[in-house]
Amino acid sequence: EFHHWIKQEILGCLRGKSKLDIEEWIEELRYKKSGNPTIRNTLLAFNIATLQLKSNSKPFSRELASERYLRFPFDRYKTESWDIEHIHSVQSLMPQKKQDMKSWLEVHQKELFNTLKISLPEIDKSIEQLLEVLRSDTPLSQEHNQQFKDVYDALLRQFSGYGSEERDNVELDINNIGNLTLLNTSLNRSYGNALFPIKRLKVIEADKSGQFCPLCTTNAFLKYYSEHVDNVLHWTINDIQDHKNSISSALHQFFSS
């Protein structure tokens, strides 16, 4: 009874005065530039609920008693700084300054074409041409800015299935919780507004090196929650929906038990 009562208290803190059920409430959650304490706490609750549910699914034995309860590392969560990260990049954050454009293209050229060995010859050629200008003292013209936008949009379309213009015509809310996750600030700021395959690569590298990354964040970038994994380097509208449904399902199970 106490466990049930305290869970309801926690749920009340998350939802505030909302009378919606958990599924409807999760559906309504949106990222806001003005602040996102509810989103942050909900993503934290998703991680805790996931660990609790995994613990409860283990058969009990004396040999496994010490491993039975998977615990969230609150000490690291409290001492480190965290961002709410958009899994799929936000078009409005497209680099605007010359130095930012150069850095963005260099990172994506290195990781996409050298590390991941992705073959996109036309885009690679356009990036090389743009980098020649961006590395020089030549002032950027309107034509150069348009060329960068074209490359950015082409890569966006390549790894999500649609570019900025198409996105306006599909039922995608880039700010809904299915496209959000918790990420260490230092890791997030290290690659800026990168595309999904670059973010995925950096999260995997951080996890391998022992850097703390919340379980559900790693799961999202590994597409653990996706019903159909056609390409691990793409993050599509279906992945966003599946991730949101997984958050809703885990919290529903946790708070109903």
One digit per residue, the tens of pLDDT, for the chain of length 257 reads 898 899 999 999 998 888 889 999 999 999 987 778 999 999 999 999 999 888 765 554 444 444 445 788 999 899 999 989 999 877 667 888 999 999 999 999 999 988 888 888 999 999 999 999 999 998 899 999 999 999 988 888 888 765 555 555 455 678 899 999 999 888 877 776 788 999 999 999 988 888 889 999 999 999 999 998 878 888 888 899 999 999 999 999 999 87
Q: Which amino acid is at 109?
A: Q
Q: Read off the amino acid at residue 56.
A: N
- Residue 248: the pLDDT is 96
What whole-number distance in Å separates Cα of residue 185 and Cα of residue 201? Answer: 16
- Token output for 66: 């010490």
Check residue 229 and give its pLDDT.
Answer: 83
pLDDT number for residue 232: 86
- pTM for this predicted structure: 0.85
